[in-house]
Amino acid sequence: MIPESFVQEVLNRVHVEDVVGQYVQLKKRGTSLFGLCPFHQEKSPSFSVSPQKQFFHCFSCGQGGNAIDFLMKHLGMTFPEAVKTLASRVGLQVPEQKRSSHQIAQEIERKTKTDLLHECLEKAQKWYKQQLKQAPEAIDYLKNRGLDGKTALKFGLGWSGRDRQGLKQVFENYDNPDLVEAGLVIQNEDLRKYDRFRERITFPIYNARGKIIGFGGRIIGSGQPKYLNSPETPIFHKGSELYGLFENRAGIHKEGFVLVVEGYMDVVSLAQLGLENAVATLGTATSAEHITKLMRITHKIVFSFDGDQAGRRAAWKALKTCFPLLRDDIAIRFLFLPEEHDPDTYIRAFGQEKFREQVQSSLPLSTFFIEELKHHYRLDEAEGRATCLHEIRELLVQLPDATVMRVQIEKDMAKLLGLTHEELKSNLNSYIESQQQRQANVQAFMHTEEVFSPLVKKEIKEKKKVSSLHQKRTVDPLSMKIFRLILNHPDILTCITERQLELLAHQAQYALVAQFLAICIASGTATLGTIEHKLKEHEDIYRIVMSIVNNPIIQDEILNNPKAEWIGIMHKVEIEDIKRILKELMQTADMQDEANKKRYRQLSMRLKYLNNMI
């Protein structure tokens, strides 16, 4: 925590007019300075800055505060980021908690590495931009997409060239491991290296401070994948970054809302058409980190999705991500354009004003929520209403306490199900208690290996010895399937029973995935941004998860029926377990004993049943 005395010292040394003046053109009027408000659209200046009071205030929208508040609201910085930025302006160092010499050395090493990676990316960006000027085919592609030089310059668009090792022209030491770590170069199994981005329009991705942290690339030929992003690096985590957030921050304040679209080409095309308030995720589903960042800089978020079934499924996933983060002062809406249009094509066909009308008539989150339930459940039947509540209560209990939004949605839900508000709340409270007990039971997997059979414990111990010799533990195909299923369909966590966890834990080949599931269940989520720090404590599990996250082909596998997939997988796991037990019975048990005979018959019948099910 930053000491309050230091915060005050920073505020005493900085001048709010200098900070604001970097982003707003100010003119002196009396003892104050005035300009157009960066937080809403206006034609007459109502935004004032008082050097005497060291305070800014808009007389129209009411936004106000000190220099720290301005950076947080305008750039979306966190409080520590804003304090650190201002402190560096006046030559102050943010005081740190007392740390050991080892911790200090680690921090210095981390900062040195971060600076090196930023430097590599900046050099690559400069070269990509130069290459675009000399690439007629890339320029023609952008022109055909309706983009001009001004827009290309604003977003720093570039061209990667076609050479497999084009970046050799930029970096004298192409074998520098920092190039691989920065995501610019790929090293294959033969230790050969080549550029990650080739034959692609490049899109630099910036953090809140305007530093490049990665790239996106759009191929202009017929190759695959069509879009390619930088991999996960020490400075780039695509599950928490938004393309266009830095470039369009002023437009977001001006328009009064942010438009979340599908890809970075959509963001750039919309800016060309005059709508400079769009952002896009980087090939991932909307995450809690995305929502939190957007909430820092605007009070209105509009998600734009295709009107087809795939679009509505993606919108539902975004809605579920928003639920735990809902606030009474934040409006979240969902825009579904006609199936043949995206925002770019709609504006080109009907104009910007018609598109704004579509935004105005977009569905509030609460309306979209109820509409989807009506569509998916037979709410005219008692059974359908009961099923709806059973399946949706996990989502309802995530609504933030003490918010009017929670009360309103609960009342709408109770009315939909034919319940009183109190009856619904009683059901939800019972569910919360049962889930708390379930998580308490699962904690055993996090701290002990008592759940593992003696044979499995022995094998785990042996494998840990191998790991200590820096050899990687491998994972069988079925375990990998479970990893991929959970990462792409985290809702499956609610379907996993303690019996299934024990079943996995009792077989050595599934020990890693059992630990992974235990971590996720204990954390209440499989969202990487939330559980990453826990996964890093388990090197083998973290390596497997990151191999999936960094694979553009398998990272977003979406199944039509993930629950059925999970049931099928567990049938196979149980079949293997039964076969193992039957073998042990035949080898070690007295098969003349009636109890052993009975158990053998029961297991054989179960095995036959499961084999017929898959």
pLDDT tens digit string along 354-368?
999 999 999 999 999
**Cα–Cα distance for residue pair 388/224, rounded to 1 Å:** 41
pLDDT for 469: 37
240 closest CA partner among 319, 313, 321: 321
Continuous segment of H or E residues that includes residue 386: helix 382-396
Pairing type for strands 185-187 and 193-195 reads antiparallel
Query: Is the per-residue pLDDT at 441 higher than 70?
Result: no
Of 509 and 389, the structure prediction assigns the larger pLDDT to: 389
pLDDT for 443: 57
pLDDT for 340: 86
pLDDT for 607: 86
Q: State pLDDT tens for residues 27-59.
A: 888 878 999 888 877 788 889 998 877 889 888
Q: Which of 40-49, 70-79, 377-386, 531-540 has the highest mean pLDDT?
A: 377-386
pLDDT for 557: 56
pLDDT band at 131 (very low <50, low <70, confident <90, very high): very high
CB contact at 8 A, 336 and 345: no
- 452: number of Cβ within 10 Å: 21
Q: State pLDDT tens for residues 423-437.
A: 999 999 998 888 777
CB contact at 8 A, 355 and 261: no
Helix (DSSP H) and strand (DSSP E) numbers for the chain: 27, 16
Stretch among 226-235, 404-413, 549-558 having the lowest mean pLDDT: 549-558
pLDDT for 5: 78
Q: Which residues contact 458 (CB under 8 A, 6 or more apart)?
A: none
**Cα–Cα distance for residue pair 161/166, rounded to 1 Å:** 7
41 closest CA partner among 328, 243, 257, 247: 257
Q: State pLDDT tens for residues 189-204.
A: 787 899 999 999 999 9
Query: Is the per-residue pLDDT at 599 higher than 50?
Result: yes
What would the mean pLDDT of 66-84 be, rounded to a whole number? Answer: 87
Of 532 and 147, the structure prediction assigns the larger pLDDT to: 147
- 309: number of Cβ within 10 Å: 10
**Could you give phi then psi for residue 58, rounded to 5 degrees?**
-105, 125
Of 398 and 612, the structure prediction assigns the larger pLDDT to: 398
CB contact at 8 A, 180 and 187: yes
pLDDT for 477: 86
Stretch among 511-520, 524-533, 590-599 having the lowest mean pLDDT: 524-533
Query: Is the per-residue pLDDT at 164 higher than 90?
Result: yes
**Cα–Cα distance for residue pair 27/48, rounded to 1 Å:** 9
pLDDT band at 245 (very low <50, low <70, confident <90, very high): very high
What would the mean pLDDT of 78-88 be, rounded to a whole number? Answer: 88
What DSSP character marks residue 299?
S
39 closest CA partner among 16, 5, 17, 70: 70
Which residue segments constitute the domains of the chain, with CATH numbers given?
A: 4-89 (3.90.580.10), 102-229 (3.90.980.10), 249-371 (3.40.1360.10), 377-442 (no CATH), 444-613 (1.10.860)
Mean pLDDT of the chain: 86
Query: Is the per-residue pLDDT at 176 higher than 60?
Result: yes
pLDDT band at 551 (very low <50, low <70, confident <90, very high): low
Query: Does the pTM of the predicted model rise above 0.85?
Result: no
pLDDT for 457: 47
pLDDT for 463: 45
Query: Is the per-residue pLDDT at 439 higher than 80?
Result: no
pLDDT for 365: 97
What would the mean pLDDT of 219-248 be, rounded to a whole number? Answer: 90
